[in-house]
Structure 1
Amino acid sequence: MRQKRWPGRAGSEQAQQHYLVEPRTLAGGGDLRHVSAFLRASGWKDQSKADGPLLLDSPDRLVRIVYDPYVQPGGWTIRGKATAHQEEWWAILGQQTPVEIVAGLTDALTQPRSAHAPNVWAPLQEQDWNRDRSNGNFTATSPDDTAWMQFRTGQNGDANWWAAARDEHGNGWHAAFSASTPMRLLQSFAAALASPEPVMRPRGRVPYSTKIRTTSVSLLPSQLGAWQQARLDAARAAAWARNWNPSRPRATARHAASGDRTFSHR
């Protein structure tokens, strides 16, 4: 484990110990707010009930995201309704899927479609994942063999995408996607899955595994809050840009851009 002092003003705040964890695929679930607060800032409606699962609906009500830790095995369920140009689709991600990887898919739901054709395998190839084809299944495996993504076809002809990560103890997570899941979402998920960037976890929240490498950092609460707020501000700015109408009064635009600056607990 490496140690690193994070720059910043000391003031009256007390630094807290966090860890940068790599590979990110084995970092554990993390803080749900990384996903939920970003979606709320992007205009998604929070339908959650007190002491119930997290439930968020897209502004057009075509996509619903649920995080339910109260059932077994628990985790994320994302469902998209059928439209004139898209079949109904779904994605299920285990409870220990790192939120940064979940956000690879959910953040993409708030972004406009690219003019370029999506390629799910491209971000995996860029990070030197190994590709294999056998029995009609296409599999990409991380260089350290701890994570993989697969497109597979069943005996009845059904096809779907699947991803997973496992440490030496068998602990980890898995994710399954319908064959109709939009390819642009799968590409964004794959990019987050294969990213070499470490993710941050607080002390006591780092899984034990010899496959994990950590760097200890001393971090002020205000620094962590500033990074979280920057992510929310970016979401609000993008939402305002998508909904901007030059015929609206300027006060409406100012209100949309300001928003609630509180970082919610869910």
Structure 2
Amino acid sequence: MTRKRQGQQGWGPEHPEQHYLVQPRTVAGGGDVRHVSEYLRASGWRDRSKRGGPLLVESPDRTLRVAYDPHGQPGGWTIHGKATGSTQEWSAHLGRQTPVEIVAGITDTLPLPRSAHAPNVWGPLADGGWHARFEGNSYSATSPDGTAWLQYRQEANGTALWWTGATDTRGNSWTGAFTPTTPLHVVQAFSAQLASPEPVMRPRGRVPHSSKIRTWSVSVTPSQLGAWQQARINAARAATWARNSRRTDRPSTSAPPYANAGSVRTRR
């Protein structure tokens, strides 16, 4: 009786689970899409997904949509903004293997009010030591290890777009594109996560096989994982409450809570 009760209540000892911190994040694999979707739901967005269909969430005013379809062609993430009084229609498309932490650079920003400061897309890349250069009508920045890039390119016919991606030789590659009408603060939020040196966490069995990455083995308990996930959701709820209370304080975007995870062992 006591043993059964302890199991139901979760009072027994927890068994640590093996996860890995992966660096660089650009080729860490897609990750769990709930990292994106649960934050948006906690921010008051509505789930418009059909049963058994692709993920689709929509902002409360219906001007913004975030979708993820792993099965379509080319598949992956589609983020769309309708035209409003101050913004033209825009969209972004990111491949299936785009790490969710990088996708969240865009989606975490969407529920927030715009900063009064002028955005600087290239600033986070320069701070991260990325190599910038002009190439004809394009301006590009490439990561120090050569795995990732961001480019603003203008075609001969006058059309333009933002082009980005990461590549290695083991199938962890992805590409993405933004229309030139994409708000610059959104592109900057993306570039900040693209260039972030912070590793991302992946469970055992979901770590890419690649000579481009380094990994550290970490032992974490289910309650630790749950607490980190809940902290992210709580941050979204707090920011939503602040907006509804006419306050504009932004939630912290500092290092992830598992940055100092214990029991770390280098794997590669």
| Pairwise CA distance, 1:69 | 1.2
* Structure-1-length-normalised TM-score: 0.87
Correspondences of 1:78-89 after superposition (within 5 Å):
78-89=79-90
Deviation at 1:85, TM superposition (A): 1.1
With CA pairs under 8 Å and 6+ residues apart, which has the higher RCO, 1 or 2?
1
Percent identity, aligned pairs only, is: 64
Whole-angstrom CA distance in 2 between matches of 1:12 and 1:110: 39
User: What is the rounded CA distance, in whole Å, between the counterparts of 2:26 and 2:246 in structure 1?
Assistant: 41
Question: For residues 182 and 88 of structure 1, what CA distance do their matches in structure 2 show?
Answer: 10
Moved over 4 A (4+): none
SS at match of 1:110: coil
Question: Is structure 2 residue 122 aligned with structure 1 residue 109?
Answer: no
Give the CA deviation at 1:155: 1.6
Count of residues paired in the alignment: 237
Question: 1:244 Cα shift?
Answer: 2.1
Residue 230 of structure 2 corresponds to: 229
Listed as ranges, the matches of 1:1-266 within 5 Å are 12-169=13-170, 171-244=172-245
Stretches of structure 1 that go unaligned for 5 or more consecutive residues are 1-9, 247-266
SS of equivalent residue, structure 1 residue 91: strand
Does the CA-based 8 Å contact 2:133-2:141 persist in structure 1? yes
- 1:11 is displaced (CA, Å) by 5.5
**TM-score using structure 2 length:** 0.86
Deviation at 1:245, TM superposition (A): 6.7
CA distance in 1, matches of 2:154, 2:139: 9
Deviation readout 1:4-49 (Å, 9 max, x if unpaired): xxxxxx9511110000000000000000110000000000000111
1:138 partner SS: strand
Whether the 8 Å CA contact 2:18–2:219 is kept in 1: the answer is yes
Query: How many angstroms apart in 2 are the aligned matches of 1:217 and 1:176?
Result: 34
By how many angstroms is 1:170 displaced?
Answer: 5.6
Q: Deviation per CA, 1:102-142, whole angstroms, max 9, x where unpaired? A: 00000010111111000100000000100010111000000
Name the Cα RMSD after superposition: 1.4
Checking the alignment, whether the CA contact within 8 Å between 2:64 and 2:81 is kept in structure 1 is yes
